[in-house]
Amino acid sequence: MFDIKAKPNLVESALLIGAHFKRDEADEARDLLEELKDLVSTLGIGIAETVLVNVREISPRYLIGSGKAKELMDHAKEIGCDCIIFDNELSPGQQRAWEEESGLCVIDRQEVILDIFNMRARSREARLQVALARMEYSMPRLTRMWAHLDRQRGAGGAGTGGAGRGEGEMQLEVDRRLADKRIDKLKADLNEVKKQRDTQRKERSRVPVPHGAIVGYTNAGKSSLLNKLTSSDVFVEDKLFATLDTSTRRMELPDGQHILLTDTVGFVRRLPHNLVQSFRATLEETLLADFLIHVVDASHHGAEAFLKTTASTLDELGAAGKKTILAFNKIDLVTDSTRLLEFGQHHPDAVFISVKTGAGIDGLLNRIHEMVFDRVVRLNLRLPMNRLDLVALAHEEGKVLSEDYEAEVAIVQCVVPKWLVSRFEKFVE
């Protein structure tokens, strides 16, 4: 009922508009508009044309100048579009003005992103989070739907009594109340899910294994990296927002130390604020991690902008300032090596990898090791034969470097997590 429209089913062809307000913002706006194309295609909506508008005269009613607005409305209809999509955020009022005057469906980038998340959400938690973000987005826009109703009744409903006008308004009140209720319910359900997650997390943290989270822009290769490092098969696709649920896997470092790695939801520029807030619970894994691996697609010309977006979204989540390994991925696709040199100059601590070819992965493992090496100690043990369980424990939780068996004792060299040292202490040589 609150799904104002099932756009992918209703909309076939769209005119995309990206507005910028200063001349020197043209490049960025063009770039964002390119990205909007990818986002819109992800929804299965055809793109008739894209228009970049340098706004000189701003009208609050349309965001861009009213002359230009009229021109674009006519143009959209001329080329047979049934939808106009703005790269810029439209206020509910502006959206209504555009829709009323063009008679077309008019949405903005935020709504596109919300719809993609909606399409992709699989787990109960992701579905609840997306539903909440969409409800919050739709609330101030409910008027739009019922204004349509008023107009329909007003036009076609002559003779049906005086009730035509204003019916929408009454319905609007009812809907607002229903929407409020639904938002409360979604929040309560999410709280439940969060409690379960907290319990799981507590169980995990009883065993203090170091924990890293993989973060970055959408399509950077985060899930691919998790799969590579932990030999798992988390869903990977050349699509925006392939991952909406975090998954955590255990991995073993070359020194035998175990760590946990979490894959997370990707970020994008102009990510709706309420979406970030809704996904807080999911992204909390990021906040609680001991360190982050920030993956960026080095082959994309927007790499530096992606870095900034990820950093500022982490900031919004309160995860700025965490120990971070910056990993430039997909170097197999970078043909111009001066690009990598430039990245190296700007980010001297970064590592360069290709999840696809395996290049640079050893270097990354070393960096991960550096992040967590102070969590382990090397021990020389003399174990009586009735304590061979400790050899098994060392194998399980650490790495056994050598083991020699003499008549009465086992002589073992191993690396074990610090939190386990007390178990071995009596037998240290």
Ligand X SMILES: Nc1nc2c(ncn2[C@@H]2O[C@H](COP(=O)(O)OP(=O)(O)OP(=O)(O)O)[C@@H](O)[C@H]2O)c(=O)[nH]1
Kindly state the smallest distance separating residue 310's Cβ from Mg ion, in Å. 14
DSSP letter, residue 113: H
- Of the candidate spans 75-83, 156-164, 213-221, 274-282, the one that interacts with ligand X by CB under 6 A turns out to be 213-221
Our CB check for ligand X shows the closer of 146 and 241 to be 241
175 contacts 142 by C-beta, under 8 angstroms: yes
Footprint of ligand X on 240-269 (CB under 6 A): 240-243, 266
Kindly provide the b/e burial profile for residues 396-411, where b requires at least 16 CB atoms within 10 angstroms of the residue's own CB.
Answer: ebbbbeebeeeeeebe
**Nearer to Mg ion among residue 137 and residue 328 (C-beta):** 328
CA 351, CA 68: separation in Å to the nearest integer?
47
Closer residue to Mg ion (CB): 122 or 195: 122
Q: Which does 304 bind (CB under 5 to 8 A by kind): Mg ion, ligand X, none?
A: none
Q: Is 207 a binder of ligand X (CB under 6 A)?
A: no
DSSP string, 392-408: HHHHHHSEEEEEEE-SS
Among ligand X, Mg ion, none, what does residue 329 contact (CB within 5–8 Å per kind)?
Answer: ligand X
Residue 7 binding result from ligand X, Mg ion, none, given CB thresholds of 5 to 8 Å by partner type: none
Sign of CA dihedral 172, 176, 181, 186: positive
**Min. distance of Cβ 28 from ligand X in angstroms?**
21
Q: CA distances (Å), 263 to each of 91, 212, 266, in order?
A: 34, 9, 9
Nearer to ligand X, 96 or 222 (CB): 222
The binder of ligand X chosen from 188, 207, 333, 341 (CB under 6 A): 333
User: Which of 360, 102, 366, 361 has its CA nearest to residue 254?
Assistant: 366
Give how many residues touch ligand X by CB under 6 A: 23
Choose, by CB under 5 A, the member of 45, 242, 296, 350 that binds Mg ion. 242
Three-state secondary structure call for residue 217: strand
Partner from ligand X, Mg ion, none binding residue 241, C-beta < 5-8 Å depending on class: ligand X
Residue 221 interacting partner from Mg ion, ligand X, none (CB closer than 5 to 8 Å by kind): ligand X
Nearer to ligand X (CB atom), residue 361 or residue 400:
361
Rg (CA), the chain: 27
Q: How many CA atoms lie within 13 A of 236 on its CB side?
A: 15
Using the rule CB under 6 A, give the single segment among 3-11, 102-110, 222-230, 399-407 that binds ligand X: 222-230
Q: How far apart are CA 239 and CA 116, in angstroms?
A: 11
Q: Taking CB under 6 A as the rule, does residue 302 contact ligand X? A: no
According to DSSP, residue 90 is labeled P
Place of tokens 């509910």: 92
Do the beta carbons of residue 209 and residue 144 sit within 8 Å?
no
120 contact choice in Mg ion, ligand X, none (CB below 5 to 8 Å, kind-dependent):
none
- What is the nearest approach in angstroms of Mg ion to the Cβ of residue 263? 6
Would you mind telling me the total number of residues written for the chain in this entry? 429
Which of the stretches 86-94, 230-238, 281-289, 380-388 binds ligand X when contact is defined by CB under 6 A? 230-238
389: buried, middle or exposed (CB in 10 Å: 19+, 13-18, 0-12)?
A: exposed
Q: Which tokens in the block code for residue 420?
A: 């386990």
* Cβ–Cβ under 8 Å, residues 19 and 88: yes
Nearest-10 crossing angle of helices 142-156, 92-102 = 30
Contact pick of 143, 354, 372, 415 for ligand X (by CB under 6 A): 354
Contact between 243 and Mg ion (CB under 5 A)?
yes
Restricting to residues 207-226, name those near Mg ion by CB under 5 A: 222-223
* Residue 354 contact, options ligand X, Mg ion, none, Cβ 5-8 Å cut-off depending on partner type: ligand X
**Nearest distance from C-beta of residue 325 to ligand X, angstroms:** 15
Q: Which is nearer to ligand X, 298 or 381 (CB)?
A: 298
Q: Does 332 bind ligand X (CB under 6 A)?
A: yes
**Could you list the residues that contact Mg ion (CB under 5 A)?**
222-223, 242-243
**Could you list the residues that contact ligand X (CB under 6 A)?**
216, 218-224, 236-238, 240-243, 266, 329-330, 332-333, 354-356
